[in-house]
Amino acid sequence: MNTKTFFQDFELFADAPNGVEKLRELILQLAVQGKLVPQNPDDEPASVLLEKIKKEKERLIKEGKIKRSKSLSPVDVDEIAFGLPHGWEWVRLGEVTRKLGAGSTPKGGKKVYQKTGIKFLRSQNVWNDGLRIENVAYIPLQIHQRMSGTHVEPGDILLNITGASIGRSSVVPDNFDEGNVSQHVAIVRLIDKSIRCFIHISLISSYVQNLIMGVQVGISREGLSMSSLKDFLIPLPPFHEAKRIVAKVDALMKLCDELETRQQKKRDRILKLGQVATTKLITPSTPESFKQHWKTISDNFDLLYSTPENVSQLRQAILQLAVMGKLVPQNPDDEPASVLLEKIKEEKERLIKEGKNKKSKKLPPVDVGEMAFEVPQGWEWVRLGELTIFGPRNGYSPKPVEYLTSVKTLTLSATTSGKFDSQHFKYIDKQIEPDSHLWLENQDLLIQRANSLEYVGVAAIYKGNAKEFIYPDLMMKIRFPKYLDINYLYQTINSKSSRRFLRERASGTSGSMPKINQLTVNSLPIPLPSLTEQHRIVTKVNQLMKLCDELEAKLTQSISDRDKLMSAAVRQVLAA
């Protein structure tokens, strides 16, 4: 595949994962390798342009406008990253610049900033697509005048040289009035500013970005030294070809913007379709309208759930339908949940009598306002605390150690996904008694009592050997009697309505980790069907979740295939 055929399929490759971003990178790389536009044998070679730059530099030195800098080492063949077209030249950045230096921060730092004055450009103002000065700082005129070495001129190229934004670069527009830069930004001022746009393209290309990442200095924070920057090898095309390259890059970047906008609109449309479909499904309605909504989803499954976000919504909808009693038909022969509640009550009283459990504080009945939806006949609204025979009870989190011990404690990551993952644990050097409540047993339910709002209240079932792990302080453990299906309760706690209940009651000040307490968990309203219906619901949910897994696997494979196609095409184009 050559450049011409690649750009004929431009829009096709844009659908690959991060496709538009990769297209932008490819455009820049093709530009600096001389593969973006055809060469014209009538163009003056870059050597002529270089000679003009050298003469101008000598004139500026002679007139005392710039100082003569230390000679740069000649280009070594081992430094050359790729071959260049006829008429191009490799040149060190210091050879074509009259100024290459970092800015500085005024004495007093942020204290001297003011609402008006001279613009003080910092790394957050420098972006590859141009300066962003909406949040620019200002300094007084007298400080600006004292900091003459950091003055910014129209046509300068600014380059971030420290921090997370290192390598980001902007061309200062021609209508820029005056300003200074901080010590985190370098000024690259060319002798011939007419080639500034091509040099900027080179600086933000993956070729130079890799150079920047390869020569960072500083232990505590990344940084790029000016001596390293001066030595960077830059590919220089003939003057007129540079102009053609810049025009082509601008046109293709505009096309990338349009593709990105179209893709985002398409993605938003698909997401909205999926949201509307799932919302209609879980909104209380007649059995007939529910069947119709479910049929609509079934008939348009691939369209409605063609993004990972929509599959996630579908999972939540399945759980919500399950706890609303809409996923499986009711059986009038099932004994009602009220009978089940009596059995649980008797079991709890027996355990209290035998000293295996403590009598807990009586919970108030579920108020009508707390019932998130109407449940089918035979179901009951009940507080979670009425169903437990142990807990909820917090775990234990002593300081972990780096060596192997006999006690492993889970970390939050073990249950964040909503599924138990035994790989996430740490060792602690503490003696835990064999009869301690901290030891986990198979089918114990774990709830995250503290995490970000996205995860606080997430439940997972422990599936493993008894007394293999203890659980941390940021989790609660709950155990239920045999009259309940632990999988149904797990699905209910992770459903949309339950998660909302827990999130809305999470405490925590600004900046601190949201937490839920034991009373909140005990107070969670649970829609309870008969045990046989619980089993039917769990079976149906598992079937549908398996379908979601298969759909996600297809999506993942499709994304991977598009990514491989894009990568192969890019390699071919760059090698052509």
DSSP states along 300-355:
THHHHT-SHHHHHHHHHHHHHHHHTT-SS---TTSPPHHHHHHHHHHHHHHHHHTT
Report the SS3 class of residue 499. Answer: helix
Q: Do domains 44-237 and 358-528 have the same CATH topology?
A: yes
Per-residue tens of pLDDT for the chain, all 576 residues: 556 666 666 666 666 667 788 889 989 999 999 999 999 999 999 999 999 999 999 999 999 888 888 888 888 888 899 999 999 999 999 999 999 999 998 888 888 999 899 999 999 999 999 999 988 999 999 999 999 899 999 999 999 999 889 999 999 999 999 999 999 999 999 999 999 999 999 999 999 999 998 876 554 445 788 989 999 999 999 999 999 999 999 999 998 898 888 888 887 887 787 777 777 776 756 667 767 777 777 677 667 766 777 788 888 888 888 998 988 889 999 999 999 999 999 988 898 888 878 888 889 999 988 898 889 999 999 999 999 999 899 999 999 999 999 999 999 999 999 999 999 999 999 999 999 999 999 999 999 998 888 899 999 999 999 999 999 999 999 999 989 999 999 999 999 899 999 999 998 755 678 999 999 999 999 999 999 999 999 999 999 888 888 888 887 777 777 777 666 766 666 665
> Is beta strand 179-181 parallel, antiparallel or unpaired with respect to 118-121?
parallel
Beta carbons of 456 and 449 less than 8 angstroms apart: yes
Instruction: For 477-494, give one letter per residue: b (16+ CB within 10 A) or e.
Output: bbbbbebbbbbbbbbbbb
Q: Which region holds residue 306: left if phi is over 0, alpha if psi is between -120 and 50, else beta?
A: alpha
pTM: 0.68
Listed by start position, the domains of the chain span 1-33+255-334+530-576, 44-237, 358-528
Bin 159: left if φ > 0, else alpha if -120 < ψ < 50, else beta.
beta
| CATH H-level superfamily of 44-237 | DNA methylase specificity domains (3.90.220.20)
* Measured distance CA(475)–CA(478) in Å, rounded: 10
Secondary structure (3-state) at 376: coil
Structure tokens at 557: 């494979």
DSSP letter string, 151-204: B--TT-EEEE-BSTTTT-EEEPPTT---EEE-TTEEEEEESSGGGHHHHHHHHH
Instruction: Note if the bond before 140 is cis, omega within 30 degrees.
Output: no
- How far apart CA 178 and CA 159 sit, in angstroms, is 17
One CATH from 3.40.1010.10, 3.40.190.10, 3.30.200.20, 3.90.220.20 for 358-528: 3.90.220.20
